[in-house]
Amino acid sequence: MLHSPHDAEDVTQEVLLLIYRSLPNCRMDGLKTWITRIAVNRAIDFKRSKARRPEQLMEQETVDLQKTEFQTDGMLSALPAPAAESIALHAEELRYIHARVDELPDRYREVIHAFYIEEKSYEQIADETGLERKSVESRLYRARSWMRRHWRKEDFE
């Protein structure tokens, strides 16, 4: 589901902890289904949280790569910083995404920007825009549909 061995390992560890903590409350009826449901739900949650903040994660990975140091045989060595070319390409990708978001119709741009870029909740967006929570959800749904109809996947690869 996650398409990344590293992410799968992280989620698996979280799932095992959740199962362990929840075992006293388990009825043992359908144990396999119960465990599977926990794993699937956690993977879905992980994908959603990662999709919500792709820009932040990518920026953090760049910073982490630049700062990462590790200990080998008592000597401190630093990993090489990412090439200037890859940093520039990443920055260009972010500019492209922001420019595409700016192309959205006004009624969609505001909620997409608030939800995905500013990472605001439905409630926060509703308070700031004066919309009802359900209206925010509807606009986000319609904005995603608009993007699927008007944007090509290849433009973002």
**Tens of pLDDT along 136-151?**
999 999 988 888 888 8
Q: 142 to each of 17, 96, 122, 137, 148, how far by Cα in Å?
A: 37, 22, 15, 9, 10
Residue 28 · residue 73 · CB < 8 Å: no
pLDDT digits (tens, 9 = 90+) for 28-66: 778 888 888 888 888 888 888 777 665 555 555 555 544
Say what the pLDDT of residue 82 is.
Answer: 56
Say what the pLDDT of residue 7 is.
Answer: 84
Least confident of 19-23, 75-79, 87-91, 124-128: 75-79
What is the domain extent for residue 1? Answer: 1-52
Both structure tokens of 98: 């922001």
Say what the pLDDT of residue 6 is.
Answer: 84
154 in a domain, yes or no? yes
Say what the pLDDT of residue 135 is.
Answer: 92
57 in a domain, yes or no? no
Mean pLDDT, residues 120-132: 90
120 in a domain, yes or no? yes
pLDDT digits (tens, 9 = 90+) for 64-115: 544 444 444 444 444 455 567 777 777 777 787 778 888 888 888 888 888 8
67 in a domain, yes or no? no
11 in a domain, yes or no? yes
32 in a domain, yes or no? yes
Four-point Cα dihedral 59, 61, 63, 68, nearest 10: 180
The residue out of 52, 67, 86 marking a domain boundary is 52
The CATH number assigned to the domain holding 108 equals: 1.10.10.10
59 in a domain, yes or no? no
In the chain, how many domains are there?
2
The residue out of 12, 30, 52 marking a domain boundary is 52
114 in a domain, yes or no? yes
The residue out of 52, 71, 86 marking a domain boundary is 52
